[in-house]
Structure 1
Amino acid sequence: MALFAFSVAPLGAGESVTEPVARAIKVVRDSGLPHRTDAMFTTIEGEWDECMDVIKRATDAIGVDHGRVSLVIKADIRPGHSGELEGKVERVHRALDAS
């Protein structure tokens, strides 16, 4: 299992990238993988191959209208662990509450 945080956006699209990014996020939502989207990244959790497939399809969804796409990926690969999308955050909150 792994967490993949990624940011994908068209290059040269002007000030707003809302519409193409929304298409990419729809791919993530439709995948059924656990995910979270914030202002900078979308994080998904799953097996390596299924996550990379979702990231590729999300990138392709943006590339439909734009010839050039920027993609940044960060991965936390932890075989044998699941539920880390929430688990990592919960552990930090417990540590903060204990201090």
Structure 2
Amino acid sequence: MKDDLKKHIASIRWVGKLQPTIMLPNTQPMPLNSAPIRHMVERFFESGVSHHSAQGATLWALLDFLQCAKVSYVLEAHPGEGYTVRHAPGTNGS
């Protein structure tokens, strides 16, 4: 992972809860503190994949980070089961 991306992840901090910024159809996004978002983003870059429930409560936060950091990803919807986010083919997550 590039150093600038590591710094961007480390900078995920604020007081209180961040309100959802992305509203996908049929999801129920919930406000989150910075720690769970930072952890979710770190795990995504370690594994290259992130799984989310059908409610998509935390999905918005990962997508928002990836879009802001200009990281290519693929979002897979599994109706009634949930969502999977993967690094886009041909990318190495950096």
TM-score range, shorter-chain basis? Answer: 0.3 to 0.5
Larger radius of gyration: 1
Structure showing greater relative contact order (alpha-carbon pairs closer than 8 Å, 6 or more residues apart): 1
TM-score (norm 1): 0.33
TM-score (norm 2): 0.34
Considering fraction of residues, name the structure with more strand.
Answer: 1
